[in-house]
Every structure is written in C-alpha cells, then in structure tokens.
Structure 1
C-alpha cells in the first residue's frame, strides 16, 4: 500500500509515550513541539503517492500491490536509478534536513531481506523472520527508525558491574517460548517520535561476552514499556516560520529510547546470542551500502541548498564581482560536482553482492560518505564567511513590522538596491537557521557523527580498497628488472 499523509498522522495517535523533560506528550501530531515536523513527514507520503510521482516512487509487488520504491530489491541498473530518484525527491522536498526520512531505515531492512540465508545461519527460522518483517514494512508503508548504539558511557559493562550499578544498555533479560524480554536503553532514535517502530540492533562491534546485548529485533514504538525521552525540540522555540523557517518545519528530533521489560515475539527477532553477527549482518549484505547510498543523496540535496544560500547572499551584498568571492563560490561548486559525481558513479559501476541482485558500488559510496562527514563543516565555514555579520544586523524578529513607524524606518535603513529590508531579513534568517542557530548546531553534530566516529568511516574505505590490485602495479614494475650484472652502473655522459 501507499500510505497517505493523513493515515500516517493517524498511525502516530497510538498511545505512545513521548517525554519532553517531565511533560508527557498526548499527541505528537498536535503538540507545538512536533506538529509542523509531523506535517512535513505527512507531506512526503502525500507527494510520493501523487500522480506525477507515483510511477517513479512506487512499484508493483508480486501480489499486484503498490509499494514505495525504497522497498524495491534492485536487480537491474534501472532499478537502482528508480531507487536513487526516489531518494532524491524525498530529500529535495525536505532540503536534505530529515536524516531519518522514511526511505532510510527501510533501505537497510530491504538490503537485509535480500540475504535471508545469512540469518538462518545465525539461527534456523531467522531468515523467514527478516523476510516476513520486510514484507510487513513494505505492505504497510511502515516508517521505522533504528536504535543501534549503546548509550555513551555504558559501552563497558564491567565498569558498571564493578560499581554495583545496573548496566543501562539494552539486553535480553528473559526468554520464553513466545519470545524475549528486553530491558535497557538505546540511542539514538532520530525521528522516533514520528515513526511507527524501531529496528533495535548494533552498529558497533560487541565483545564475545556481550551475547545478551546482541539482540536485533523490531519493536513498535507504542509497545508497553517503551518510552521516548526527546532532546530539546527546536520547533517549540521557533517564534515564527519567517524567523526560523527550517526549525519551524524540519526538526526531526532525536530521542533516547527506553525499554522497560519489553516483550518481543520470536517472529520479530533476527539476531540473538551472536555478538559477531549483530553488526556483521549490515556489512555482509547490501544493507549498509543501500542505507548509506540514501544518506549520500540526502546530503547532496542539502548541499545544493547551502550553495543556493551562498549565491543569494553574495547577490544581496553586491559582492559577486570580487574575484575572491567568485573563488569561494567556485570552490563550493567544485565540491558539489565532485560529490554528485561520486554518487552517479555508484550506479554507473555497480556490483553484485547477492546473486540475482545489483548493488551500488560500495567503494564510491563509502568515499562519498567520508566526504559528507568530513567536509560538511568546511562547507558551512565557507558559507558563513560569505554571510559575515549580516545575520546580526537584523532585528530580533519580524514583529518589528507590526508597528508602521518602525517598519518604515526598517525599510529606510536596511534596504539595499534591488532588495527590500524585509526580503533581506528573510534571506538572512533562513541562512542563519541553516548555519548558525541551535537547529544548525544540531545538524553540525549530526553530519559529523551519523555514520559513526571518523575512524570508523575512514575504516570502511580502507577495508573496501583493492590493495592487492594496487600492490600488483608496484610488483609489476619491481619484477620487470633486477640488480645489474656485477652491480655495474652506467657512467653519466661527461664523466
């Protein structure tokens, strides 16, 4: 099915427990901290199903039903192109600001379901579990987040045990014939308050003594015992859409997700008592590359917005004729083209990871991932340099125009040739919300760490590089000659 925006909003009125500090939120679709972002997610569902997007952004499954294209298991380059364009449109409509849009975790799960035999090797029947869960998500257009990291400070259980403290990391605490009981906490549920369920797992390696933490399962976010504790919601503190145009609509929020003895039936369990494969399932299947291909595309659309703002600010300040300014814009344009080339190359040079399916090129994907996580700060710095002190010259908020005398004064002193004071303020408020506000600060941290710490991200490129082939080039040269007879060397001319 293709869920409508209204159907998605209704699915969130399910009794879930969401806390902002000590406040229990009754309805995330109506609360002033979340309602605009909820409407933004609903917009994605409606636009996806619209006639002009339906053919690209959905496909017909084996039973004749229409399903979102992010659930398409790619067998051809055309399938990869269909998926890529679907990701691109979702990111374009949200300006790349929703890192956990509905196509992200769905891509991870789709990649896992392409290799069910890997799960059966962990425990017979787990392969059917992951395929059936994939079908459940596909047929119900489920929006899922993932919680796949232990909380900071709790990654060495022995420290807690020596101090006589409860280990807060989620783990299996009991088993029955019907399923398992999990208890503890996971991070970080980005978009969790707007999702139907969470995929619980591990993207960090576990030690062999952490078997009970290796649980990988799916949990509805309204399940008994589940609670989401959100960070400060920026939407709640946005004074108007004019003053905070991005945090007003696109704060996806992040939450710690607590599980207080939550029951998970066996059919929703995919890994258990296997520390190595708790992480291994992602990198030994198309999952990791499919999910991060989506993040590459999402970042590219965000980068386009940043470059558009940079150019508009240059125009507003009438400094586009200065060679140094042109150089900054040229550098930004070159960076954007390089990233787009890495993304397009993922489709032009695909590879097969699972027989019968086609996968994006992992090396190019990991190179793009490395670029995004390391270069975001440099891009922001370059655009902020073009902004200069412009954002601080603006009044505190747009209420200044409510007074006719103040508005006239504002237009008299803040207008520039070709742009009104209100138009100029509107541009600089947008730029600051993306680059300097608290909302922007969260994005700085998110882009730096969403794929893991830097050494993990660079490690993917190390592990996937063709070192033997490159070394062979060196060996080919070295094997083409030897020590000259008797160690003699030619005397240079003139000596």
Structure 2
C-alpha cells in the first residue's frame, strides 16, 4: 500500500499525549510547531502518486508489489542510485533539508536483516521477528524513525547505582511481552508512527546479560507513553524572515516510557549485551549514506548563499573571495565523491544486500561532520555582516520605512531590495539563527558522537592493504606480516 498524505495524517491522530512549551497538543497535524514538517512528510507520500514524480519515488519489491523507493531493500547498485535520486527529488521539491523522514532511519532495520545469523547465534528467540517488521514497514508504508539516546544521568556511575530509569530498561516480563521504563530522545517521534528503539552506546563490561540491553519496535500509539517536545523554531518570526526555521524544523522529543508493554512480536533482542553491541557496531551501515547526502545538500546551500551574496555586491572576481568559494566547493565535492564512490565500490552484505562501501561512507560522514563548523563560518564571512543587521520583512513593507530600505538595499538593476532582503534572510537563517545552531549540533551528533564516528572508520578501513604495500616496498621480513594486527 502506497500511502497518501491524508492517510498519513489520519494515522497520527491516535490520541497520543504530546506536550510542547507547557501546552498539551490536541491535534498534532494542526499545531503550528509540527504542521510544517507534517506537511513535508505528507508531501513525500503524495509525490509517490503524482505523475511527475511517481517513477522516481516508487519501485517494485521482489514480490512484484509497488513500494516506496526509500524503504525498499537494496539489492543492486542501481537500487542505491535510485534511493539517492529519490532523496534529491524530495529535497528539490520542498526546498530545504529534511532528515528524519523515513529513508534514513529504515537502514537500521536492514542492518538487523544482515545480522540475522549473528543474532540467532546469540539468542534465537527474537530474530524471527525482524523480517516481518521490515516487510510491514515496506508494504504498509509506515513512517518509521529511530531512538538511540537516553537521558543517561551521571555517566561516571552504572545505571543501577543511580536512578535506573536514566537508561531505558526492562522492568518485567509478562505473558504478553516485556514492560519497559525510561526515556529516549527521538527526532520526529511526535508525528511518526513507530521507532526502532535500541540501547545507547554503553560499556557493558563483562556482563553477558543486562536489563538495559533491549531492542524493540515502539508503537507510538501505545498506552503509558508521553511525548515532551523541545520548543520549536516555527513561529519565531515570519516565514519571510526565517524561511528555513518556519518550514523545516524536525522537532525532537523526549519520549517517556512509563511501564509500556511491548508485545513479544515487537521484541528484536532482549537481555543479551552481545546482541546490543553487535547492533551498535553495524547500526549505520546503510543509514550513513542518506545522512551524508543531506550534508551534501546543506553544502550546496552554503555554496549558493555565499556565491549569490558576493555576486550581488560585485566581489566574485576578487582572488581572495574566489579562494574561499573554492574551499566551499571542495567541501561539497569531497562529500559528493564519497557518496558516489561508496556506490561504485559497493559491497555485498552478509544477507546479500547491496551495501555502500563501508570505509568510504564512514570516512565521508566523518569528514562532512567535522568540517561543517568551519564551512559555515567560511560562508558567514562571504555573506558579510549584513546578514545580522538587516531589518525584518515588515520594515520593507511599512510605508514609513519602505522607501529608505528600497534605496539602501537596491544594488543595481539585477539586485533590487526585495530579492536582496530575501537572500540575506535566507543566509541568516542558514548560518546565524537558532535553527542554524541546532542543525549544526544535529549533524555533529545525530548518528553518533565524533569519537564513535572515528571508531566506525577505524573498524572499516582496510589497514592490512596499506601495511602490505609498505611491507613489499620496504622488503620487510615475511615474519612481519600479521605479527601486529590492527
């Protein structure tokens, strides 16, 4: 079933208990903090039905059923390329960057698909639940997101040595399923259907079993759940002054699990720390690509905002300006190179899926995230100080001030005050606003903290190939080979 936008809206009118800014939300689809992103997600669903975009957004699975490209299991390099085209089509259509809309988070389920044999070897009780959930998401076009981060509390202490609810855990088992308590931060949870909930990065020590080592599908319509959201950026100023904040704020939510029953068929692993550790190490093998693709689009916006700002004032021919623009272009193209090469050098996963080249995609993610602060600052330099001093759109329309602003913000026949104000407002929202700061932090930490991203590169780089090249070139003794493994 390919959902429509209206069917999606109906599916989240399920009576869930949502709060934002101390207010209980009655209808999440109409609340101003959530409506812009719900409209974007609805638009993605509707693009699957429109003639102009249907071929890009829809494919057929191995059963011959029509399914969303973003949710379909990747079996070939063409499947991976089709996913990239679909994401680009969405970002082109909506005119901004949206991340947690399904295609990024579904990859975690494919990692489970790859790990079936490993998980069965650890505990065979739950592995058979994985494939039905993958098929359900695919066939029913479910809006599926991800939950990783707990409040954590005092990290110098074990969770058992403080309030145990600081990390989500199993409090008891029943005939119907497990009962969990705790909390998770989940982007888009207030307006998604479900999430794959799994442990945060944890040091299990020598423990083989833990009530904190649990992974399950969380149905957001379940009883005993509460959704407490951070303040939204939508509504802080007009859409004319903050065009990104008001349209693309993916609201983050602290989801409270207050003794929530998880049916046995929704449990994917339970108690075994080896299963939890395995999942953490393979979680992003597919999700890293769409995440990095969003960084590529963000880089495009940095380049475009900087370029148009220097063009409007005639500075693009100065060598110093061109050098800074070139740095931005190299940042963008390096991300593009990692994306393109990770498909061209794709690998076959343990379950036979076509998997982005792991070393390349993780290296690209680390580069893109690590360099983003510097690139934003570089774009800020090129855009100049006027992005922080320009009056609001209302001042450009007020009869008492409009003429003055038209005089001082019109540069030439091509750049009149209205367009210049729009560009400066866009650049301000991209680089200087609360939304811009939030996006920066989101990109740095959304998939994992920097040290964990570094660990992913370390685990997936082919160290032995580089070592072998030097062993041969330096004519080292054969005894050296393999004597010190990485």
Q: TM-score range, shorter-chain basis?
A: over 0.9
* Cα distance in 2 for residues equivalent to 1:221 and 1:259: 10
Give the match for residue 284 of structure 2.
Answer: 288
From 295, 307, 314, the counterpart of 2:310: 314
From 322, 346, 353, the counterpart of 1:350: 346
Whose helix fraction is larger, Structure 1's or Structure 2's? Answer: 1
* Cα distance in 1 for residues equivalent to 2:342 and 2:154: 37
Does structure 1 conserve the Cα–Cα contact (< 8 Å) formed by 2:96 and 2:248?
no
* Cα distance in 1 for residues equivalent to 2:95 and 2:365: 18
Does structure 1 conserve the Cα–Cα contact (< 8 Å) formed by 2:108 and 2:286?
yes
Does structure 1 conserve the Cα–Cα contact (< 8 Å) formed by 2:165 and 2:181?
no
Give the match for residue 245 of structure 1.
Answer: 243
Written as runs of structure 1 = structure 2, the 5 A alignment for 1:261-300 is 261-281=259-279, 283-284=281-282, 287-300=283-296
Written as runs of structure 1 = structure 2, the 5 A alignment for 1:392-471 is 392-395=388-391, 397-417=392-412, 418-471=414-467
Q: Secondary structure at the match of 2:268?
A: strand
* Cα distance in 2 for residues equivalent to 1:95 and 1:464: 34
* Cα distance in 2 for residues equivalent to 1:387 and 1:480: 54
**1:166 and 1:461, CA in 2 relative to 1: closer, same or farther beyond 3 A?**
closer
**1:55 and 1:130, CA in 2 relative to 1: closer, same or farther beyond 3 A?**
same
- CA deviation digits over 1:450-495, x for unaligned, max 9? 122211111111111221221112222333699xxxxxxxxxxxxx
For structure 1, the 5+ residue unaligned runs are 483-495
Does structure 2 conserve the Cα–Cα contact (< 8 Å) formed by 1:37 and 1:248?
no
Query: Is the aligned partner of 1:196 residue 2:188?
Result: no
Give the drift of 1:43.
1.2
Q: Secondary structure at the match of 2:3?
A: coil
**1:4 and 1:206, CA in 2 relative to 1: closer, same or farther beyond 3 A?**
farther
* Cα distance in 2 for residues equivalent to 1:388 and 1:279: 47
For structure 2, the 5+ residue unaligned runs are 479-486
* Cα distance in 1 for residues equivalent to 2:398 and 2:255: 46
Written as runs of structure 1 = structure 2, the 5 A alignment for 1:154-193 is 154-155=154-155, 158=158, 161-162=160-161, 165-187=163-185, 189-193=186-190
Does structure 2 conserve the Cα–Cα contact (< 8 Å) formed by 1:206 and 1:214?
no
Give the drift of 1:177.
1.8
* Cα distance in 2 for residues equivalent to 1:135 and 1:472: 43
**1:298 and 1:49, CA in 2 relative to 1: closer, same or farther beyond 3 A?**
farther
Q: Secondary structure at the match of 1:234?
A: coil
Give the drift of 1:425.
1.1
Written as runs of structure 1 = structure 2, the 5 A alignment for 1:78-93 is 78-93=78-93
Does structure 2 conserve the Cα–Cα contact (< 8 Å) formed by 1:96 and 1:299?
no
- The TM-score, its normalising length taken from structure 1, stands at 0.91
Does structure 1 conserve the Cα–Cα contact (< 8 Å) formed by 2:201 and 2:280?
no
Number of matched residues?
475
Give the match for residue 23 of structure 2.
Answer: 23
Query: Is the aligned partner of 1:363 residue 2:326?
Result: no
**1:194 and 1:154, CA in 2 relative to 1: closer, same or farther beyond 3 A?**
farther
* Cα distance in 2 for residues equivalent to 1:420 and 1:106: 45
Q: Secondary structure at the match of 1:335?
A: helix
Give the drift of 1:72.
2.2
Give the drift of 1:353.
2.1
Give the match for residue 255 of structure 1.
Answer: 253
Give the drift of 1:318.
1.7
Structure 1 stretch 448-457 or stretch 360-369: which is displaced more?
Answer: 448-457
From 379, 384, 404, the counterpart of 2:380: 384
* Cα distance in 1 for residues equivalent to 2:160 and 2:152: 16
Give the match for residue 481 of structure 2.
Answer: none
Give the match for residue 222 of structure 1.
Answer: 221
* Cα distance in 1 for residues equivalent to 2:124 and 2:461: 34
Give the drift of 1:156.
5.3
* Cα distance in 2 for residues equivalent to 1:143 and 1:3: 10
**1:259 and 1:155, CA in 2 relative to 1: closer, same or farther beyond 3 A?**
farther
- CA deviation digits over 1:430-456, x for unaligned, max 9? 111111000111011111111222111
Structure 1 stretch 384-393 or stretch 269-278: which is displaced more?
Answer: 384-393
* Cα distance in 1 for residues equivalent to 2:396 and 2:294: 36
Give the drift of 1:203.
4.5
Does structure 2 conserve the Cα–Cα contact (< 8 Å) formed by 1:243 and 1:429?
yes
Structure 1 stretch 60-69 or stretch 251-260: which is displaced more?
Answer: 60-69
Give the drift of 1:138.
0.8
Give the drift of 1:328.
0.8
Written as runs of structure 1 = structure 2, the 5 A alignment for 1:229-240 is 229-237=228-236, 239-240=237-238
